[in-house]
Structure formats: structure tokens, C-alpha cells
Structure 1
Amino acid sequence: MSDTEAKYAIRLSFETIQLPPFRDILVLGKGAEHGRSGLARALQLLAPDHFETIDIQEGNVEAVYINRQVLKKISQEKMILALSKKVFPFVSEGELLKVDVKIDVSANTVEYEA
């Protein structure tokens, strides 16, 4: 019988997280195990009154949860139109898809009356 010495190496990494684990938009695919109402309740507990729930019946999409701060910068209709064209075609059934949004607002001319 031989004497062996066990050696262990442990590598740890960590980062801070925010709850909920997304900031801007969450797209809920049809048939997702979380379900529309369950996810809405969870978001209400994690971030009360921060997200607007929008029912969608398009392709594989059942609902969209949009941060109300996003909706202060762009209308719900315009945001849903953009998602419909650029995101919804890529949503698989049963999937939760996190969408990060960056909105740039610029104005060429601002006029004031004295």
C-alpha cells in the first residue's frame, strides 16, 4: 500500500448581481415553464412597479416585460414594433430572452422664444 497525499486547488470568482437579473426587457416565449402570471408576480416581488407587462400573441412570444424607465424615453408601441422586427423572430418556444436597450436621443435644433 502506498501513501499518497491529496492536493486540492480551489478557484473562486464572483461578481455582484442585481435583482431582477435583467434591466431593460424580458421576452417570454410561449410555453415557458415560468408562465406569464408567475413571472409577473416574481418581478413584482423583486422590483415592485418597475416593469410593464405587455401581452403579445406573435410567433413564439407570449409576453414582454419592459422597464418603465425605457418607456419614459420611447413609447410602448414603438418599442414593441422594434422588438417585433428585430427580436421576436429569434425567440424559441419556452425561452426567456433578455434584451438590453440603449436609447440615444439627439436634437439638431432647439429653439427658444424669449
Structure 2
Amino acid sequence: MVKGNGLKYSIDLSFEEIKLPPFQEILILGKNSQHGKMGISKSFDMLVPNGFELVEVGHPSVEAVFVNKRILSKMPKEKIIDILDDKVFPFVSEGELLKVDFRVTISYSNIEQEF
């Protein structure tokens, strides 16, 4: 607490490291966003060259989706868009930028091989 001339200040302070871009997996761009898809795409090209793929979608409230190419190496973009369309797109407002944490876990079970 800092005192001076009868004034009291109470300060809570915290900070953490951020990474650029400020999301790691998927960014959804709502229709009529002030951040156009071309502007965001150019920014990503400068920050993370060849790191994200722009996927244009035909949804009433979503203009485009930026998907980390690491995810695309694990599953097809059509499946990713289907999941987002079902679970996330209904909650996207016009003009909104939405960060999506989309973690893919791959597992195998009952692997049988002849030796």
C-alpha cells in the first residue's frame, strides 16, 4: 500500500508472456469484421509465414477461418469446418473475431500385426 497526503493506493499486478499471433490453433472471422480477411492474412504471413491456412466458408455469420497447418496435417479441413459449423459457428456474432482452442489427440487401440 502506498500512502501520501491521506491517499491510499492498493495495487494488484500480474503479467504473463504472450505469443504472436495471440492464438495457436484456429481464428474465426465473423462477417463484416473491422479486421478484413486479407489484412489478417497479411499479418499472419509476416508473423508466422506459411503457418495458417485461410478457409472461406459459406456461413451466414462467418466469413473465414484461419487454421494452423499443424492441425491440417492431422485431419482434413472439411472435417474441421464441419465440427466448427456444428459446435462454434452458431455462437459467432457479426464482426467478431473468435479464438478457438482446437487440440487434436490421436490414439490407436487394438493394433494387430502379423510378425
TM over 0.5: yes
Q: Distance in 1 between matches of 2:6 and 2:93?
A: 50
Unaligned runs of 5+ in 2: none
- How many percent of aligned residue pairs carry the same amino acid? 48
Q: Distance in 1 between matches of 2:6 and 2:92?
A: 51
**Secondary structure of residue in 1 paired with 2:83:** helix
Regions of 4+ moved over 6 Å: none
Q: Distance in 2 between matches of 1:75 and 1:7?
A: 58
- Which residue of the partner structure matches residue 16 of structure 2? 15
* Native 8 Å contact 1:59 1:89 kept in 2: no
CA drift of 1:9 comes to 4.7
CA drift of 1:10 comes to 4.3
Q: Distance in 1 between matches of 2:80 and 2:66?
A: 11
Q: Distance in 2 between matches of 1:83 and 1:35?
A: 20
CA RMSD of aligned residues (A): 1.4
**Secondary structure of residue in 2 paired with 1:104:** coil
CA drift of 1:111 comes to 2.7
In the comparison of the two structures, how many residue pairs are matched? 111
- Which residue of the partner structure matches residue 40 of structure 2? 39
Q: Distance in 2 between matches of 1:8 and 1:93?
A: 40
TM-score, reference length from structure 2: 0.88
Equivalent residues in 2 for 1:1-114 (5 A)?
4=5, 8-114=9-115
